[in-house]
Amino acid sequence: MGFDLREGTAVLERTPATFRALLGGMPDEWTTCDEGPDTFSPFDNVGHLIHGERADWIPRAQIILAQAGNRQFEPYDRFAQKRESAGKTLSQLLDEFAALRAASLATLRGWNLTERELALQGEHPALGTVTLRQLLATWVVHDLGHIAQTTRVMAKRYRETIGPWRAYLPIVDR
């Protein structure tokens, strides 16, 4: 399956509204639950996506596009949101994510990337050589994965409550 920018951005531009529809105004029970130590609650998922806008996707794309001597990405802090979201409400995070994502997409569109640029390479600190195309496709999959993760965390609250239906709903045991 190839990747084109129009198609990829169709997902990226919808993610903030999807999280807002799913989580906006929700009782705290649904937004603070998690899967145990060092796992993400729905609240943490939004904070993690915010950190990605600041530290991951566009900054890494810029490293690739610059094609300077050092093309190595900064390691990514998966738990940055524990610090960065402190004291904020979910409503604030949803607004912040929407604003940052809109800015990221404006930057991305402004680049008018060509096929040649999509093939340019950078160095991931653990995965080695990657292309700009792979980075942008990963951004899309990462969004979708965090929507899935958020709904899975929520679903698990009712693992016991659904009784025998648990056999039909693998999401609560994933």
The contact set with its own copies (CB under 8 A) reads 1-3, 6-7, 10-11, 14, 17-18, 20-22, 26-27, 29-30, 124, 127-128, 130-131, 133-134, 137-138, 140-142, 144-145, 147-148, 151-152, 154-155, 157-165, 167-172, 174
Between 79 and 165, whose beta carbon lies closer to its own copies? 165
Residues sharing a CB contact under 8 Å with residue 85, sequence separation 6 or more, in sequence order: 43, 44, 46, 47, 50, 93
Between 30 and 111, whose beta carbon lies closer to its own copies? 30
In one-letter notation, the amino acid at residue 143 is: D
How many helices (H) and strands (E) the chain has is answered by 9, 2
Between 76 and 111, whose beta carbon lies closer to its own copies? 76
Between 96 and 143, whose beta carbon lies closer to its own copies? 143
**What stretches of 1-151 adopt beta strand conformation (E)?**
121-124, 128-131
Terminal-residue alpha carbon distance, the chain: 26
Q: Can you name the residues that pair with 130 across neighbouring β-strands?
A: 122
Closest approach, Cβ 45 to its own copies, in A, equals 12
Judge contact between 120 and 63, C-beta under 8 A: no
Closest approach, Cβ 94 to its own copies, in A, equals 12
Closest approach, Cβ 167 to its own copies, in A, equals 7
Closest approach, Cβ 28 to its own copies, in A, equals 10
